[in-house]
Amino acid sequence: MKLLECDKYAVARTVIEDAVKFEDGKMDLSDERGASGCVRGWHKCVFRDTDDFVKYINARGIKEKVCLLGAPLDTPQRLGAKADACKTYAYMKNLPPPLGSLSVKRLAHTLAGVVADSYDTRGEKMPVPEMEKTMRDKGVFGALVDSKLAGFIGRHTDGSMGMLTVFDDYRRRGIGAGLEAFMINYVMTFGRVPFCDVYIDNAPSLGLQEKLGMTASEGYTFWIDKL
């Protein structure tokens, strides 16, 4: 049996196959030991154990841009690489979560500077031109409260949901949940499966995924720039 046919790796299968199908990617490997798809310059893969992953990257000469799913927590140390651990979640239900009364609108790319300045991931800011392209290609959607921008959510180049940000003055009002519920509904209109990555030290976001009915992947996910 191929690894992706195992129920244990259902979320990894969903994430890899969705990204390959909808983001102009291609499957590079799929057998009983592991699977890998090439998507937007990244190798999104899952393997039964780290040794099989090492054999794969050595055989292909892969030295950078790897997203490894379903891995043990100590994987970066074993590989001599740097990457923070994430949990990958996918929405596996047939019906999306209900939408509340939150007003959500697609933001114009002319707001790229505002969005880029507000979105912070591990101390790094997305360059404004890159954010503008993301807003044009994938869309960034904002929550409006009394006609003012209260927060936003978007999608990354692999189609995953992300960039969820709620401004300080609007927190603890359910806006984050409303934005992600909106995005889950939006993604599903394209026949896609909504998915996202959450750093394991982000307890509020981890709790939000459970609240919205997202299914957690087996093991941990690591985005590794250099091997």
In contact, 5 and 29? CB cutoff 8 Å: no
Q: What share of the chain is helix, strand, coil (3-state, %, to 5)?
A: 35, 30, 35
* Residue 80, C-beta contacts closer than 8 angstroms, at least 6 positions apart: 227
Percentage of the chain lying above the pLDDT 70 cut: 100
pLDDT 10s digits, 199-211: 999 999 999 999 9
In the predicted structure, residue 124 carries a pLDDT above the cut 90: no
Predicted pLDDT at 170: 96
Report domain extents, the chain: 3-92+219-226, 103-192
- Decide: pTM greater than 0.75: yes
- Domain spanning 103-192, CATH architecture: 3-Layer(aba) Sandwich (3.40)
In contact, 187 and 197? CB cutoff 8 Å: no
